[in-house]
Structures are given as structure tokens and as C-alpha cells.
Amino acid sequence: MKCLIEKKCGSCKYINTDYQKQLNIKMNYCKKLLNDQKLDMYKVENTIGMEYPYGYRNKIIVAFNHKYEFGFYEEDSHRIIPYNRCLLHEEVSDLIIKKIQSLLKRYRVSIYDENRNRGLLRHVLIRRAVIADQTMVVLVCNDNVFKGSKNFCNELIKSFPSIKTVVLNVNKRKTSIVLGNDEKVLYGKGFIVDELCGLKFKISPKSFYQINHKQCEILYSKAIDLLELKGNEVVIDAYCGIGTIGMIASSKVKEVIGVEVNKDAVKDAINNAKMNKINNIRFVNDDASAFMVKLAKQKMKVDCVIMDPPRSGSTKEFIDAIKILNPGKVVYISCDPSTQVRDIKYLAKLGYRGNIMYPVDMFPQTVHIETCVLLQRRTM
Ligand SMILES: C[S@@+](CC[C@H](N)C(=O)[O-])C[C@H]1O[C@@H](n2cnc3c(N)ncnc32)[C@H](O)[C@@H]1O
């Protein structure tokens, strides 16, 4: 498929590469990372790809320029590259953006100019709950007043009934971070509800939710299967986001404790557990490393750790605490295998070894890859 802005945008580095070849490149990349760290005892499985590797992104963020053109920032810059159709987006998301574009013009909404720190609209974020067909629109603005928002929302929803909520996110800071801290719900409840691996999950604007629904189900099922759970385990779901993996594993174990630093995500996680009537899970709003160190001091009995840190990976403190807690199994999920390999090298030093890495293509056409590894405690 042809993308008209591929060079300027720079996200889809492999858009002109045959998909099977992309999967092989990603597998070989993982092999190289492991070999470079002398972890060549690991076998890397074939990358699990998608049947249709387009239109998978359930979250999109676009910016507008003063001509009301919308697009992405050019690679390494803040220049907007206008686009009409992104091959990674669901078509409906781009259609909603077009409708927002026409409304912005008609309501004469001013566009934020970062050099002068003036103007209202900074970004538009769309999140889709693909199974439930629910859409959230987040208008990121430089003020907490959006004049005419009631009519604006009504017109938008009339054209796209899948929109269940519209949120005004207020970001007045001079920053390239998209979302600010304050929010005002303009329409609906301020969240959408998606289904993943048979459970329901409430998603609010700031909480982390995997962007590729199909591949996420494959990844989570793989991670949980690798643990071969018996039903009596105490499991830590570290870096748990809105509680997805831990809740999906909860029916197979005695107890799950999720830890997550983002307080909005933790609120969602607690509500998600209630919504799904899951009673053997609790969530803690804390830094994952600090929490693990506390558990280690309390000599808590932990059987398994599931860890899914951000791109920067985990920390030495976290891994040292694993050594003290002494769980039999650790499943490490990562969206950046280079930091994962760094961490599994350290885990190997402490007696946690694995032998297979599973790459799952969560981000077709791009260079990114999600990986999953089971590490088991070895007697030294
Ligand atoms: C890759 S996401 C995984 C979320 C979740 N496991 C999922 O699959 O939806 C990483 C999560 O780690 C959280 N996080 C980042 N740094 C953290 C820290 N130091 N302690 C705890 N959580 C952290 C982020 O807010 C994010 O929710």
C-alpha cells in the first residue's frame, strides 16, 4: 500500500518492505540483541504477525496548523505534515478527524501557536474501543474554556454515534508532552469501555492501553500461558496500567497485586476489577521498583511476577527485589527488546534464566516490536 507522506512522517520505515520480510527483520533484530549480550542460549521464535497489517492503531494523536490542516509532526521537528489517510489508523478515526476539522473552522476555534504560546487547540486524540465500537475524542487545549462546546459536541456525535465521550484536556504548559493534568468532560462519562480477552476495560484519556487490540490479545494469552498457572499462585502484575494482564490472569491464580505509577490508570484498574466482579486482585499506586523493595522487606510470598515496563525497561532495584522475593517464574513483556535484553542479562546473573523469546508484531510497518520472555529461577 502506498503512503503519500511516508518519507516526511518517518513512522512507517518498513511500509515498502514485504510483510513477511518485516517479520523476519524483527526476529533477526531480537537475535542480534541477544547474541550481542552473549545470551545466545535463547532461541527467538518466528515473529507473530497480523493477517492484515494495517488499520490497527486504536489511538491516534494529530495536531492542526493555522490553515486547519491536520497531521503529524515531521520526524524530529514540530512541523506539521498534513495527511488525508494514515494506513495505520482505522478509517473511521480519520473520518472523525476530518469532521472535527470542518467544525473547528466553522466554530473559528483558534489553533495553538507554540512559539507565541497563544491559541486554543493543541492536539486531538482519538481512542477507539474496537470490539465495543466506542470512540473517545480528547480535545487538548491551552485553556479550560471551549466556547460553543455543547453544539460542537452535538454536531460531532450526530455524525459519529460511536463517539461516547468528548473530553477537554487542559495543557497550558510549554511542553511537547501532549496531555495536561486537568480534564473537563464535555460529553458522556469521560471514558470508553473495551473488551479484551473476554473482560471489559474502562479506558480514560491518560491511561495506557495497548494500541493494537488483536495482537494484544495474542501477546497477553502467550504471557499467561507461559506461566502454566496452577491456581494457588500469588502473582505481581508490575507496571500494570489499567490492570489488563493481571485481571485476565486472575481466574487462574489465588491472588494478583497490580502496581502502577499513574494514578488515573490505577483508578481505572480498580473500577475494572469491580466491573468484571474480580475479587482476588488489588492495585497499588506506586513506583514499581519502590513497591517491590517494600514487598521484599516484608518478606512477602510471591510465586510469579509479570512485568511490562515502559520503553526504558525496569531498574536494578526492581530486579534485586525479585531476587529477594524469589518467585519461581517471571514473565517479562517489553515494547523495547534492547532494554529487555539488558534487564534479562542482569536477571540471568541473579539466577533467572529463560530460553525462548517470542516477538509479537504489535506495530506493523514500523521498526517497533513487542517481545515476551519467560524466566525461571534456577538453583545456582
Ligand atoms: C508498557 S505499559 C504496560 C501497561 C499494562 N501492562 C498493559 O499492558 O496495558 C507500561 C506501564 O508502566 C507504567 N509505569 C511507568 N513507569 C512506572 C514506574 N516507575 N512504576 C510503575 N509503573 C510505571 C506506565 O504508566 C504504563 O502504564
Task: Give ipTM to 2 decimals.
Answer: 0.99
| Phi, psi (degrees; rounded to nearest 5) at 212 | -125, 100
Average pLDDT, the chain: 95
Specify if 319 maps to a domain.
Answer: yes
* Centre of ligand 1 from the C-alpha of residue 241, in Å: 5
- Verify whether residue 12 is a known catalytic residue: no
> Residues 153, 216, 240, 335: which is the catalytic one?
335
130 lines ligand 1 (CB under 6 A): no
Residues annotated in a binding site for S-adenosyl-L-methionine = 210, 239, 260, 308
Specify if 3 maps to a domain.
Answer: no
363 lines ligand 1 (CB under 6 A): no
Domain count across the chain: 2
Atom of ligand 1 nearest to the CA of 240: 6
Domain limits for position 80: 59-203
Is the separation of the CB atoms in 248 and 199 below 8 Å?
yes
245 lines ligand 1 (CB under 6 A): yes
Predicted TM-score (pTM) of the model is 0.93
204-253 pLDDT, tens digit each: 998 889 999 999 999 999 999 999 999 999 999 999 999 999 999 999 99
Residues 236 and 307 in one domain: yes
Residues 64 and 45 in one domain: no
79-137 pLDDT, tens digit each: 899 999 999 999 999 999 999 999 999 999 999 998 888 999 999 999 999 999 999 99
Residue 380: predicted pLDDT: 55
Residues 153 and 244 in one domain: no
* Centre of ligand 1 from the C-alpha of residue 322, in Å: 17
Distance CA 35, CA 346 (A): 15
Residues 224 and 178 in one domain: no
Closest CA to 332 of 344, 345, 342, 315: 344
Residue 15: predicted pLDDT: 95
328 lines ligand 1 (CB under 6 A): no
Is the separation of the CB atoms in 335 and 309 below 8 Å?
no
Specify if 6 maps to a domain.
Answer: no
CA dihedral 308, 313, 319, 322 (to 10 degrees): 0
Residue 29: predicted pLDDT: 98
Distance CA 267, CA 242 (A): 8
Residues 39 and 127 in one domain: no
Q: Residue 370 CA to chain centroid, in angstroms? A: 11
Atom of ligand 1 nearest to the CA of 309: 10
Specify if 9 maps to a domain.
Answer: no
Cell of 375: 524466566
